[in-house]
Amino acid sequence: MRMEKTGNMSKMRLAIVGAGPAGIYAADLLLKAERDFEVEIDLFEQLPAPYGLVRYGVSPDHPRIKGIINALRDVLDSGTIRYFGNVHYGRDISLDDLKRHYHAVIFSTGAIRDADLDIPGIDAAGSYGAADFVSWFDGHPDVPRTWPLEASSVGVVGNGNVALDISRMLIKHADDLLPTEIPENVYAGLKENPIEELHLFGRRGPKYVKFTPLELRELGEVRDVDMVLEERDFDVDDAYADETLAKNKQVLVMSRVMNKWLEEQREREASGDRASRRLHMHFWSKPVEVVVEDGRVAGLKIERTAPDGNGGVIDTGVFEVVPMQSLYRAVGYFGSPLDEIPFDDAKGVIPNAQGRVLDLEGEQIPGVYATGWIKRGPVGLIGHTKSDAMETLECLMEDRDSWWTPEVADAEAIPDLLHSRDVPYTTIEGWHRLDAHELSLGAAEGRTRIKVVPRDEMTRVSRAE
């Protein structure tokens, strides 16, 4: 991507709101692009620590995925980007502030809310969203420190990686998580978890799952947990899947994994062996109602589905109820609206055209852009945010004649502004302090890291107060 000089402009100042992978990738791509002028980039993040969903949306027992942090850290440590953590857009800093100090802004605030599952009883006590649970076990500072783990039988609705993540965290023995960076309060909560049975539901067949092979294999490797599948789910006549999906290498791998589990299950049934916990996978199972007793979850009513011949499903009119005491929905994430920025309530994104933010009439708003999940919705893996950011940056540079003209371009103006508003912001140096502190806490316990959870403690350590 080549960026040409505009008039006499020798320096561009860009604000990026959101310091997860999408925001950091956008900054990195812009800095590495061939251009004829300087670029100054300031990253604003409402949490004291950077990295967004890589730190607060990936299970602690996934160190390989968390290795992405090393690449993101290299970008932040390059010395060419300033990081302002613990700064809440819409409260600590406004759109008018950004217009006054920058040429443009890119919003990369992600999607951290749960999408709705619109069935009767879904709001009963004991019914939860996956995103909230993930935030708890990942030590997000803005959620309660405790989680009600009281059910011996639990249901999870969804056939994506998030559904597998929360299923694995629910069914896994807490002691097996000690080598990870799991926070102390989360370990204590999971240690008391009385779960014996977990039921995972998908409305389509086993060849349509949205898992990745790695995630699926990891699920079967959890200690002292039996994988339980229903033979009938694999006996369904589905010509579309056989012809279309059978060529997909990932589908082939996952089919082999599940067939292996079926064989092991037959052997267990013949021998009478049984683990202390069991994870049941239910396919062709469409949730239609949460069974509620005394205001609490008591079961999930599902309707058996069948293939429609085109990759979808049809209803069969056959209903079943699976007893349980709690239910988690993992049916997708959803974005959150931002002050003074248009928002599509139906899609959970900022309305945009290739990253150019649009007003309610569909007209482009000069100087305002979006990237990542808040731009395109919560689809794709972390790596997809690079191409997404490239598209937004190309539009940004094409629009340079309509950028804002900052009134105050002094780099020290932003720290002065935050100081004047008593905002206890954190910096890259502060993140290094917090990172070292968490590593030292882990070392003292023979672990890699123990994550600090309370926001005030994160801030205090970061600011060396």
On the question of a common fold for 2-111+335-425 and 113-332, the answer reads: no
- The reported pLDDT for the residue numbered 90 is 96
CB 60 within 8 A of CB 177: yes
The pair of three-digit structure tokens given for residue 85, joined into one six-digit string: 């953590």
Spatial separation of the C-alpha atoms in residues 266 and 432, rounded to whole Å: 51
DSSP annotation of 115 reads P
- The reported pLDDT for the residue numbered 359 is 95
The sign one gets for the Cα dihedral 75, 81, 86, 92 is negative
Spatial separation of the C-alpha atoms in residues 451 and 445, rounded to whole Å: 12
Max intra-chain CA distance, the chain: 80
Percent of the chain residues past pLDDT 70, beyond the cut: 97
CB 313 within 8 A of CB 204: yes
The count of other CB atoms within 10 Å of the CB of residue 96 is 9
The model's confidence at residue 66, banded by pLDDT at 50, 70 and 90, is low
CB 164 within 8 A of CB 219: yes
Tell me the three-class secondary structure of 348-399, residue by residue. CECCEECCEEECCCCCEEEEEEECCHHHHCCCCCCCHHHHHHHHHHHHHHHC
Checking if the pLDDT of 455 tops 70, the result is: yes
- The reported pLDDT for the residue numbered 11 is 86
**Where do the structural domains in the chain lie, given as residue ranges?**
2-111+335-425, 113-332
The pair of three-digit structure tokens given for residue 117, joined into one six-digit string: 């599952």
Looking at residues 137-143, what average pLDDT do you find? 94
Looking at residues 210-238, what average pLDDT do you find? 93
Checking if the pLDDT of 5 tops 50, the result is: no
Checking if the pLDDT of 346 tops 60, the result is: yes
E-strand stretches of 122-196: 127-129, 153-157
Q: Are strands 285-293 and 296-307 parallel, antiparallel or unpaired?
A: antiparallel
Spatial separation of the C-alpha atoms in residues 140 and 351, rounded to whole Å: 28
The model's confidence at residue 78, banded by pLDDT at 50, 70 and 90, is confident
The larger pLDDT score, comparing residue 41 to residue 248, is at 41
pLDDT digit string (tens) for 147-183?
999 999 999 999 998 999 999 999 999 999 998 889 9
Residue 289, classified by CB atoms within 10 Å of its CB into exposed (0-12), middle (13-18) or buried (19+), is middle
The model's confidence at residue 337, banded by pLDDT at 50, 70 and 90, is very high
The pair of three-digit structure tokens given for residue 355, joined into one six-digit string: 């990253």
User: Which of 72, 141, 62 has its CA nearest to residue 108?
Assistant: 72
- The reported pLDDT for the residue numbered 381 is 65
Q: In residues, how long is the chain?
A: 465
Quick one: which H or E segment has residue 119? none
The model's confidence at residue 7, banded by pLDDT at 50, 70 and 90, is very low
Checking if the pLDDT of 37 tops 90, the result is: no
- Residue in this structure with the two tokens 């079926």, named with its chain if needed: 262
Architecture of domain 2-111+335-425: 3-Layer(aba) Sandwich (3.40)
Architecture of domain 113-332: 3-Layer(bba) Sandwich (3.50)
- Residue in this structure with the two tokens 């290739």, named with its chain if needed: 354
Lowest mean pLDDT among 6-20, 258-272, 354-368: 6-20
The count of other CB atoms within 10 Å of the CB of residue 182 is 24
Looking at residues 118-143, what average pLDDT do you find? 95
Lowest mean pLDDT among 130-139, 231-240, 245-254: 245-254
CA angle 455, 460, 463 (to 5 degrees): 120
**pTM above threshold 0.75:** yes
Looking at residues 219-242, what average pLDDT do you find? 94
Residue 246 sits at φ, ψ, to 5 deg, of: -65, -20
Residue 236, classified by CB atoms within 10 Å of its CB into exposed (0-12), middle (13-18) or buried (19+), is middle
Q: What 3-state class would DSSP assign to 201?
A: strand
Checking if the pLDDT of 4 tops 50, the result is: no
Residue 394, classified by CB atoms within 10 Å of its CB into exposed (0-12), middle (13-18) or buried (19+), is middle
CB 111 within 8 A of CB 373: yes
The pair of three-digit structure tokens given for residue 351, joined into one six-digit string: 């309305």
- The reported pLDDT for the residue numbered 6 is 43
Q: What average pLDDT does the chain have?
A: 92
CB 320 within 8 A of CB 313: no
Looking at residues 270-276, what average pLDDT do you find? 93
